[in-house]
A and B are shown apart, each in its own frame.
Chain A
């Protein structure tokens, strides 16, 4: 077992090794897990995922690694770590975006056939499919009962007044690029689903129960608009239930909105591109309070 050069400093974690150790533990001795080691590895993985969904080889590096990302997906899915679904979904989306001509290749890493088989298994694990190149059944039975407490359908739900639809459509597109369209609740993406009676209640349940983060785009008379008003009631209910970490305000102007106060933090949309706004939203999603 000769050496692969360690090029990074001692203080940063080798995220590949963290994932490899978790997977090896689960496959070799699921009855005798070293919980301390596994907890440390999972903490490192959760902390160092880039907002775009990838992991670097070393925590201090800013360069994505396909191999490390695929291995991290193996570790988190097999372990069923708390909040793993959303983290893995982002990773899975990023991995798909890295495919070129039907395969994956990474500079200075294993050959593309090995890497592609590894990524294909990671995608299958993320999609909860059973067809893999190795048997994960022993692991699955040991860890089956642990379900995440934060399993929600959407990563982000956007609430906005109609006047801003053009800007919000661009923002939604940017978010869909990195999170996947199915993870972004933007009403235009769900026209068929929303064509139903009692839409007010249905929308409120999407914001209250089925979205990790509700991004409220505040502009003049937001609270007075018919549909925004309905959504705003659901959002205020979240504030009442102390679910503030699930709310993110974006302001399009300085208008006052009843129920929103000067102590509420927000992002000023003015002068920021949709790409910048999408990046800030992804950054917020990556915070541990939401994982």
Chain B
């Protein structure tokens, strides 16, 4: 029997699970920080997928690692900007609930 940590399917399943849970959290969370946490889960699912393909399928195994490093950089930039927007929203509305930020609603 092939060892479990040596098949591509288990990694792809975990990545799909992280992606699905991130999607679920994104839809049912009501606070902006909760949605940001779910977005980080989605991104880590995507990078796990890249790393699995990198180990098992890619001819050049540095490409996937470099792509994952760039995803990390983009995720860090995204977290910094999203958190500064959340702090600005909190300062103006005294709330980080998505239902309360409705100034543009007709």
Whether chain B is bound by chain A comes out as: no
Where the two chains meet, the residues of B that have a C-beta atom closer than 8 Å to any C-beta of A are none
